[in-house]
Each structure stands twice: as structure tokens, then as C-alpha cells.
Amino acid sequence: MAFEHVNIVGLILIFLFIFIFFYFLYKNKRNPNLYIRKILGIDAISDVCDYAGETGRPVSFCTGLSSVGPVLYASLGVLSFVAKKAGTFKNRLLIPQYTPEVMAIVEESVQEAYESINRGSLFDKKDIRFLSDEQFAYASGYIGMIKRERACATFLFGTFAAESLILAEAGQEVGAVQVGATISPEQVAFFIASCDYTLIGEELFAASSYLTRKPLEITSIYTQDKVKLFIFFIIIIGSVIATINQIYPDLNLHNLDYFLTIEI
């Protein structure tokens, strides 16, 4: 039987990955002391919230063009942390929205975060604003909002495209302290240039675990590191085979990608 989009080896790898995830989840269920290295950008999130508390000006949290998916869920963990801090210091938390589906989820998360610190009355639905589902109209709305409200801190967490620099520069113009995080390598460069702190790629996913220290979230980081280690070894083996093939072409060894062509 030939599978679509994947072969039997690919499927085995997927199930192996799922197995590793549940194995470590079970093993570390009650162990919140797994080590995560210090990440400056994530430490800055708390500091930036504290700074906003001192100034009393609004804080903005932008999920960019994120749709419902892993990137949004990773950002929601940070949003929840920021909402709790904003609630504690009584800062307004402005959340511009690009898709209505995301808006509904964000609303729920923020309300829950406020209620968890007994500041439910501070939650204002009007601060979660649907701007537009058109990329540049959204960017334009964001600029207007940041400038009118004079946000003192902005968080740019999620999926971004060409508008990333427009959003980051709008924050710069009002002198906001900015933390940017995205998985797109192209937009990371813009954030590095325009934001005060930048989380690169997977650090976005680590941020929520780092801040909350929940066993489940820390286990996720632990698991993905194990999988990355496994892939790292695969890359090394593949590179060695490719080098041998280059030096001794007569050997004509099958490289690892051969396994991805096997059908049963």
C-alpha cells in the first residue's frame, strides 16, 4: 500500500515522535525542575511589563496574521502572562486582531487571565479590536491605534509577513519598548533591527513554558530538544555519507533520503 505525501519510514518517524512526546510527558509529569537555559528576550517580557506598570500607559499585544494553529497557541501563553501583569498594574491591554476566529479565542484567554488574578472587572472587550482581515489595512489600523493610545510597550508575537516592519516601526516612533517573536526567518531580521528584544524561531514556543514553568509545557521543550538531537545526528550521518560518496564515488552508498523513497 502506498501512502500519500509520506512513506512507511516517514510514518514510523511520526509515530516515534508521538511516542517520545508521551514518554517524556509521563516521565516528567511531576517534575517542574527541568532546566531551561536563560533566554534574555523572554526575561525581558516581565521587565517590559513592569516598566509599563510604572508608566501607566497602555500595553499592546499583537498576534499579527496568525490563524488558529500552533503559533497562535504558543503566543497565547505569553499573552496570558502579559494580561496578568497588565491586570496587576492596571495597564490597559490593547490587542489588535486580524481574524475574527482568533479574536474569539484571544478574548477568552485574556478574560480568563484577568479573572485568575481577581481583576475580572478590568477586562474590557473594546480593547480587543478587530481591525481588518486585509494585511495592509490591518497594519494601517495598528499604526493608528499605537499612535493614538501612545502605547509604552508592544509585544509582536505570531505570524508576520511584509507588514512586520511597518508594525515594529510604528512602535519605535512612539518610543515603546518592543518585544518581537516570529518563526519566519525573513521577518526575524526586521524585528532584530526595530525591536528592543527579539525571540527567534522556536524561542517563541519556549516563551510560554519559560514564563509559566508548567510541567507539561517544560516537557514539550524537553521533547523537542530530544527530537532535535535525533535530527542533528541524522544530519551528521547524512553529511558523512555524502562526503564519502564525494571522495569515493565508486562506493555509491545510499544516503538517508533513500529511506524516504521505500514503499511497501
- Contact segment (CB under 8 A) with other proteins among 30-38, 54-62, 134-142, 249-257 equals 134-142
Going 98 to 104 to 107 to 108, the CA torsion angle's sign is negative
Q: Which residues between 55 and 84 bind other proteins (CB under 8 A)?
A: 69-71, 73-74, 76-77, 80
Residue 54 or 115: which CB sits closer to other proteins?
A: 115
Position 263 contacts other proteins (CB under 8 A)? no
Using alpha carbons only, what angle is made at residue 124 by residues 174 and 183, rounded to the nearest 5 degrees?
55
Residue 24 or 153: which CB sits closer to other proteins?
A: 24
- Contact segment (CB under 8 A) with other proteins among 32-40, 51-59, 96-104, 248-256 equals 96-104
CB atoms within 10 A of CB 223: 18
- Sole binder of other proteins in the list 12, 16, 40, 104 (CB under 8 A): 104
Q: Write the burial class of residue 83 (CB in 10 Å: 0-12 exposed, 13-18 middle, 19+ buried).
A: buried
Q: Which residues between 190 and 249 bind other proteins (CB under 8 A)?
A: 190, 192-194, 200-202, 204-206, 212, 214, 216, 220-221, 223-224, 227-228, 231
Contact call for residues 228 and 234 (beta carbons, < 8 A): no
Contact call for residues 160 and 167 (beta carbons, < 8 A): yes
Q: Which residues between 174 and 193 bind other proteins (CB under 8 A)?
A: 183, 185, 188, 190, 192-193
Going 163 to 166 to 172 to 176, the CA torsion angle's sign is negative
